[in-house]
Structure 1
Amino acid sequence: DLAARCSPAQSGGLTLTTLGGFLALTPTGDLTALERVASACVRDLDPFRAPASPDELARRRSAGLTTRQEALMMEWGYPYVMEEFRFHLTLSGRLAQADRTAWMKTAQTHLPPLGNRYDLGSIALCGERPDGRFELIQRYTLTG
């Protein structure tokens, strides 16, 4: 139902960056449409969310959340949603500062040209396997 109500989103191209010690692809340009899709996912799928455990809340708080991030976590179960969300496609685990430049160069040699437009045309339902990795269950085309 969500995918049927939500229209596709576009932004400028993707760029390779480091985000919190991870390599990631992040969008450029106007992010309004991507933020619209992300907010709809949080808002519309919230009834299906399990409440955060006390350990999870403590772990998140240990990162030094802002007042707004704390409020978002209490309302939505995660501090980096709505205006605190930064769309990204994670490419690595956390890298040591000394290794990031080399990994950036390695990633750049293996990435195709990223272009100047990124189209988000679907959302995916994923599950977490026992080993902690995510697995695709179903992909839904945004048709709204």
Structure 2
Amino acid sequence: MRYAIHFTPPSGDPLTLAAAGWLGRNVYSGEAVEHPALRGLGVHEIAFHTALPRRYGFHATLKAPFHLHSDLVEAAMLRDLMRFAGTLEPFELPRLEIARLGDFFGLVLERPCPALDYLAAAVVQEFDAFRAPLTEAEIERRNPEGLSASQFANLYRWGHPYVMDEFRFHMPLTGPLAPYEFARIEEALRAHFAPVLSEPVDFSNLALFVEKEPGAPFQVHSLHPMGRISARKIA
């Protein structure tokens, strides 16, 4: 089993429901969801281009997938995650927008968010003790020869190259695409997500995801609300 600590909106959030339709799977229930009917893009094409993000579920990575350290147990991690989330104050994300990131599309922030960068670094540091060390095979799968010096150092220290100063918030929506597909996929994404991207998105929880066996789809295990319990009750 592997775990990951991510951000994803609550199960009933309009963005969550729109993403479930696009990806073809609800990350909370694990159930398949019918893809939308979009002009110029067939349902079978959406299914093909979303196969990779569908397995990982709608999320933004904070602590990348990891095996639990052999000396620790899930219950201890859950207790620490609940305690840690309670020390963080919720905040509103800058507006999300569709963007191309290399050869795939995802949701990114329209402007930097220092509060998010701080939180992401804190999550990586706080929960690294729960992560089993990477094996040599796992390191090789990260293609270390293609990483920058900073990314390479992150991989060995934190188990993932894109953390700390290399962290960039994004929520993947497609797998790798051929250049001739960019314009058509982008148009479909904008048409599908436009109704929900005008609404603010609150960053108010940390989500623990699980992969129950190798190759299985990731699913939300539990949400851990941010902020003191007393403050949440007043709100």
- Which TM-score applies when normalising by structure 1? 0.90
Counterpart contact for 1:121–1:142, Cα < 8 Å: yes
Residue matched to 2:224: 140
Q: Deviations over 1:68-125 (max 9, x none)?
A: 1111111101110011010011112222222121111111111124137442111100
Greater Cα offset, 133-142 or 50-59? 50-59
Specify every segment of 5 or more residues in structure 1 that has no aligned partner in the other structure, as ranges.
Answer: none
Rounded Cα–Cα distance in structure 2 between residues aligned with 1:120 and 1:3 = 11
Which of 101, 105, 128 is the aligned partner of 2:211? 128
Would you say the 8 A contact 1:10–1:33 is kept in 2?
no
Which residue number in structure 1 is paired with residue 130 of structure 2? 48
Q: State yes or no: 1:78 paired with 2:151.
A: no
Gap change, CA 1:43 and 1:62, over 3 Å in 2 = closer
For normalisation by structure 2, the TM-score amounts to: 0.57
Using CA pairs under 8 Å that are at least 6 residues apart, name the structure with larger relative contact order, 1 or 2. 1
Alignment counterpart, residue 90 of structure 1, candidates 172, 176, 195? 172
Residue 181 (structure 2) aligned to one of 93, 99, 110: 99
- State the distance in 1 between where 2:84 and 2:119 align: 10
Deviation, 1:10, is 3.0
Match of 1:9 among 86, 91, 104: 91
Question: Which of 113, 116, 121 matches 1:39?
Answer: 121
Distance (Å, rounded) in 1 between the aligned partners of 2:155 and 2:144:
13
Q: Displacement, 1:30?
A: 3.2
Percent identity over paired residues: 33
Residue identity matched to 2:203: L
Q: CA RMSD in A?
A: 1.8
Contact 1:11 1:30 in 2 (8 A): no
CA offsets per residue over residues 41-77 of structure 1, 9 Å max, x none? 1011111112212122122234611111111111101
Q: Deviations over 1:124-144 (max 9, x none)?
A: 000014333211000111115
Using the alignment, how far apart are the partners of 1:15 and 1:76 within structure 2?
Answer: 29
Q: What runs of 5+ residues in structure 2 fail to find an aligned partner?
A: 1-82, 229-235
Computing the radius of gyration over CA atoms, which structure comes out larger, 1 or 2? 2
Note closer, same or farther for the CA distance 1:129–1:93 as it changes in structure 2 (3 Å cut): farther
- The secondary structure found in structure 2 opposite 1:126 is strand
Please tell me the residue identity of whatever aligns with 2:151. Answer: Q
1:26 to 102, 108, 119: 108
The answer to whether the Cα contact below 8 Å between 2:106 and 2:171 also exists between their aligned partners in 1 is: yes
The one-letter code sitting in structure 2 at the alignment partner of 1:89 is: M
